[in-house]
Structure 1
Amino acid sequence: MATVEQRRVLVTEVPGPRSRELHARRAAAVSSGVGTTLPVYVERAGGGIVRDVDGNQLIDFGSGIAVTSVGNAAPRVVDAVREQVGAFTHTCFMITPYEGYVAVCEQLNGFTPGGFEKRSALFNSGAEAVENAVKVARHATGRPAVVVFEHAYHGRTNLTMALTAKSMPYKHRFGPFAGEVYRVPMAYPFRWPTGQENCAAEAFEQFTTLVHTQVGEANVAAVVVEPIQGEGGFVVPAPGFLASVARWCREHDILLVADEVQTGFCRTGDWFASEHEGIEPDLVTTAKGIAGGLPLAAVTGRAELMDAVHTGGLGGTFGGNPIACAAALATIETMRTDDHAGAARAIESVMRPRLDALAEKFPFIGDVRGRGAMLAIELVGADKAPDPARTAAIAAAAHRAGLVVLTAGTFGNVLRFLPPLVIPHDLLTEGMDILEDAITSTG
């Protein structure tokens, strides 16, 4: 199969003339409600490179938002998809099932956190997975309430918008939202009012107090949490906080749902971020990196919970599509064989020291955080005031120089980095050089 040469190439300005032409067509055909971070139109991609229709080759620090961790055209995934397309593209697992769906569930049951017996169900997107995890939790416990956190992002369906903390652009004028959702503070070390050293204990105290007084433990079906928050700004909870929440959930027969949609599948240097925290969630939601770029998602959890739902209560026409399942099995094989968890840790060993050095040099980099190949910097002004304007300027400078970077954060002031786990070392270091130049240009 054709591959993309692993080097940055700038033939035109970014975006170039053909991309601008396509963008004009887009404006006439696609809803303006669908945003675009960088309007370069992709012709081919692979490894750590995205090539556009003008021949520019950009270094990829985004992975399609943590989706193409194994690369955009991983050989095992391509071969598996081609074989499956030639066999059949769809039957609907709920009508006439097939082995691929079962095999993906077997894999998930085997290596998601927790030594207990598990079951899985497959869906199309992370939001669907989270929504179905809430359905399972409510059905199994007979309780209505769901507790979520500040800075959370869980999706764009009506229920998951209710779970999501950020209004613009995700919730603005889309309500009313689903009820029985309650929000509590996140243990956000950089922004904790009394200092990072107090964050875990005080955040946990606030969490338990608010649930007790405003909801009542006996009414809570589940606590839904990202082990590292994604769109909220790659917030890593203060050490010990999630373990305390997990212990409290067990004490009150409340289910802990780990949203591993962005953190899962080797992204943080473990197969799942929950492993680093030493927690065993009752239910885990996955998507993004699960299938090498094809749409697939899952809920995996304790067998007695997943089997509590009546037959027909879970499902969907396209959930666990056979092509996506073939891609997932090939993705999992690739990650195991090529040690992508180790690759994520190696990426961190290159990027984190560079980011820390930049923070030492530029006071407006208030925080460096993340884990593995899921890293971020938060940009601030005086008294930690968020600086979204500088964040946008740095991202734009990086884009012009041929580096794909993403922004994030409740306040729009976080640059997040999600390089493919297969990115070559020289591209990784060149990307960091470009980032440093972009940061310096705004200093």
Structure 2
Amino acid sequence: IHDAPFCRDSGCSPATCECGFFAGDTSQLRRILNPETGHVNPDEVAYIILEPIQGEGGYHVPSAAFMQEVADLCAQHDILLIADEIQSGLGRTGEFWASDGFPIEPDVICAAKGARVGATISSEDVFPGEKSRLSSTWGAGDLVDSMQGALTIDVIREQNLMDNATERGAQAKDALAEADIPNLIDIRGRGLMLAVEFDTKAQRDDVQEAAMKRGLLTLGCGHKTLRLLPPLDVREREIRMAVDLLAEAAESVA
């Protein structure tokens, strides 16, 4: 297994990149896979795997330049691309898959959580003849769970919940910016896959605890970031309430 830095700036370019993915006139991934000077033979690479939007690592939304470089290298060397959409899939970002919002075309998608089952999705060209019932480290994956997942997809489409995710996500980001929350250094995300980053881990932890006491459930990720994951049918009033509670919690521990 070889790794390369994940983009941490949705607006970066090769010239302005600070995460280390782009360096000089190329990217680390391109340098690794260079047939003449790289240390990995691209003909021996099984796949490239990435989260279209980083989850546990801090909810970072990558730049179009980062994703285009990944897409170009997969095409150049005929490498399969696996998208981990366990957190970002099923309408969470306002697209059915977060991958849909980037210049990539995954060969395999890993889904779970919102799907109610752990599922691997691909064409028969990638997994010929594979047909079985698989268990999952997240859920049982039985027939009832599969029915729940199918009904969930129907509801997302019938009730236009992806449009709601886009609208309520934009509302949340605007409200968070206007709230002027102390010690907050970044607001990021796409749709209702949202996060706020504080200046220190201790501050993040204190805000999380204070928010919980006020009835607002959040979850940490990365080093000093809080995840905000409203349900896809969240209403405008509930977004306002959540932002007010978060601001109040941050003020109390500032």
Does TM, normalized by the shorter one, top 0.5? yes
CA-to-partner distance for each residue in 1:122-154, whole Å, 9 max, x for gaps?
Answer: xxxxxxxxxxxxxxxxxxxxxxxxxxxxxxxxx
Q: For residue 191 of structure 2, what is the aligned residue in structure 1?
A: 372
Deviation at 1:199, TM superposition (A): 5.1
Matched, 1:205 2:27: yes
Q: Give the Cα–Cα distance (whole angstroms) in 1 for the partners of residues 39 and 93 of structure 2.
A: 34
Is the CA contact (8 Å cut-off) linking 1:269 and 1:372 kept in structure 2?
Answer: yes
Q: Give the Cα–Cα distance (whole angstroms) in 1 for the partners of residues 185 and 15 of structure 2.
A: 13
Is the CA contact (8 Å cut-off) linking 2:110 and 2:119 kept in structure 1?
Answer: yes
Q: Give the Cα–Cα distance (whole angstroms) in 2 for the partners of residues 233 and 279 of structure 1.
A: 21
Whichever of the two has the greater Rg, that structure is 1
CA-to-partner distance for each residue in 1:352-402, whole Å, 9 max, x for gaps?
Answer: 0122234x564x32221110001111112xxxxxx1100000001100111
Is the CA contact (8 Å cut-off) linking 2:64 and 2:103 kept in structure 1?
Answer: no
For 1:405, which of 209, 212, 218 is the aligned residue?
A: 218
Task: Give the percent of matched residue pairs that are identical in Structure 1 and Structure 2.
Answer: 31
Q: For residue 91 of structure 2, what is the aligned residue in structure 1?
A: 266
For 2:227, which of 401, 408, 416 is the aligned residue?
A: 416
Deviation at 1:336, TM superposition (A): 0.6
Gaps of 5+ in 2: none
Q: For residue 77 of structure 2, what is the aligned residue in structure 1?
A: 252
Q: Give the Cα–Cα distance (whole angstroms) in 1 for the partners of residues 16 and 219 of structure 2.
A: 29
Q: For residues 272 and 254 of structure 1, do their structure 2 counterparts lie closer, same or farther at Cα, with a shift above 3 Å needed?
A: same
The residue identity in structure 2 corresponding to 1:226 is E
* TM-score w.r.t. length of structure 2: 0.87
Q: Which has the higher contact order (CA 8 A, sep 6+)?
A: 1
Q: For residue 340 of structure 1, what is the aligned residue in structure 2?
A: 161
Q: For residues 208 and 317 of structure 1, do their structure 2 counterparts lie closer, same or farther at Cα, with a shift above 3 Å needed?
A: closer
Q: Give the Cα–Cα distance (whole angstroms) in 1 for the partners of residues 147 and 84 of structure 2.
A: 23
Secondary structure of 1:376's counterpart equals strand
Q: For residue 126 of structure 2, what is the aligned residue in structure 1?
A: 305
Secondary structure of 1:232's counterpart equals coil
What is the Cα-based RMSD across aligned positions, in Å?
Answer: 2.4
Deviation at 1:219, TM superposition (A): 1.6
Deviation at 1:243, TM superposition (A): 2.1
* TM-score w.r.t. length of structure 1: 0.52
Q: Give the Cα–Cα distance (whole angstroms) in 2 for the partners of residues 352 and 316 of structure 1.
A: 38
The residue identity in structure 1 corresponding to 2:2 is Y
Q: Give the Cα–Cα distance (whole angstroms) in 2 for the partners of residues 333 and 229 of structure 1.
A: 26
Q: Which has the higher helix share?
A: 1
For 2:134, which of 316, 319, 322 is the aligned residue?
A: 316
The residue identity in structure 1 corresponding to 2:4 is V
The residue identity in structure 2 corresponding to 1:340 is L
